[in-house]
Amino acid sequence: MLSLKNVTRYFGGLTALNCVNLEASAGQVTGLIGPNGAGKTTLINNISGLDHPNSGQIIFNGHEVQRMAPHRITALGLARTYQNIRLFNEMTVLENVMIAQHFLGKSTLFHSLLQLPSHRKEERFIRQKSLDILEQFGLSHLQNELASNLSYGDQRRLEMARALAADPKMVLLDEPTAGMNAVETEQLGEKILDMKAAGIAVLVVEHDMALISQVCDIVYVLNFGEVLTVGTPDEIKRDPAVIEAYLGRDE
């Protein structure tokens, strides 16, 4: 589904990513861990097109995407969440989810002006689908609330709902458990496993080893912009190099 080949990104003299190779396939949860500043978010941004690598290849769903604009990558079936929640705060919960299906729609302003049947049908369809997704995430009672008025946990869930709204083939989750308690983390893990069961490729960036062990099939460890090691969660936990990279830096 996703494959990175020798992806390198530097800012000025600072190398954020150095020859990163990574594979993630459908129906599998891939973990990405590493100390703070290891380049995890840069990597996610490069995959989703918000940033572009200086060299190397990113292949998603059979397309080379390393130079592509983010909206086109999304149209290929990629969705993501953000480390610090980034919702459209001036919009309602429902609209936040509807916006994610934007690229699926075809109606133009012209259709809307004349209220053509095709436009009405499309709007109804998008609305219904968004409501279904909100229902799945237990947010349907909040559909007309402004996104900024939601509690932290609800905002996290809404972001996840938004990511899944457009039937993505792959989802990137950037520290989805930040600020969550153990019970919420567990629930989130269930959701991730649901996605996996639905055949979606998931790439999850996390610090929480419990979640990693719960959901991940394979884990990449990133340190100073380089892949330190790859393995199953159990292998990773025993790897002395990983322990060294984390010691004194995290927790």
Partner 1 sequence: MDTILNFFDKILQPIFEITTTLIQPILDQLQVIGLSGSVVNFMLIAAILGISIYFTLYCGMFSLANAGFMAIGAYIGAILTTQHDASLGEALIWGMFAGGLIALIIGVPMLRLKNIYLAIATIGFGEVVRILIREFDQLMGNLRDDPTVGGIVRDILGLLVEDVDARRLRITYGPQGITRIPRETEVAHLVVFLLVLAYFLYRFHHSRMGRAMAAIRQDERVAASQGINVVYYKNVAFFIGAIIASAAGVFSAHTIGTIGPEDYDFGRAVDILAYAVLGGLGSWVGPIIGGLTLEAMPEILRELKEYTGLINGLILLLIIIYLPGGLTSLFRPSFWLSRGRFDTAQRVVTAGIVLVAICNVLPYRLEAGAQGRVLGYEVWGLLPAFISVGVAFFLVQRISPKPEGGRYSVLLAGVAAGVWLAFLILGLVGQIENVTTGYYLHLIGMALIVGGALISYPPEIEAASQRKPEVA
CB neighbour list of residue 60: distance below 8 Å, 6 or more residues apart: 1, 2, 3, 47, 73, 76, 77, 78, 170
Q: Which of 41, 74, 177, 223 touches partner 1 (CB under 8 A)?
A: 74
Q: Which of 46, 48, 130, 223 touches partner 1 (CB under 8 A)?
A: 48
Near partner 1 by CB under 8 A, which window of 4-12, 14-22, 76-84, 192-200?
76-84
Residue 163 or 242 having the CB closest to partner 1 = 163
Tell me the angle at which helices 152-164 and 117-136 cross, rounded to the nearest 10 degrees: 130
Q: Within 10 A of 20 (CB to CB), how many other CB atoms are there? A: 24
- Alpha-carbon 153 to chain mean position: 17
Near partner 1 by CB under 8 A, which window of 28-36, 64-72, 175-183, 223-231?
64-72
Q: Within 10 A of 222 (CB to CB), how many other CB atoms are there? A: 23
Residue 43 or 212 having the CB closest to partner 1 = 43
Q: Tell me the per-residue interface mask from 96 to 135 with partner 1, x by CB under 8 A, - otherwise.
A: --xxx-xx-x-xxx-xxx-x---x--xx------------
Q: Which helix (H) or strand (E) holds 204?
A: strand 201-205
* Distance of alpha carbon 117 from alpha carbon 57, whole angstroms: 44
Q: Report whether 47 contacts 2 (CB < 8 A).
A: yes
Q: From the CB of 246, what's the least distance to partner 1, in Å?
A: 26
Q: Which residue, chain included where needed, has tokens 């909040």?
A: 142
Residue 71 or 249 having the CB closest to partner 1 = 71
Residue ranges in 77-96 that form contacts with partner 1 under rule CB under 8 A: 80, 82, 84, 86, 88-91, 95
Residue 29 or 79 having the CB closest to partner 1 = 79
Burial (0-12, 13-18, 19+ Cβ within 10 Å), 79: buried
Which stretches of the chain bind partner 1, using CB under 8 A?
48-50, 69-71, 73-75, 80, 82, 84, 86, 88-91, 95, 98-100, 102-103, 105, 107-109, 111-113, 115, 119, 122-123, 162, 166
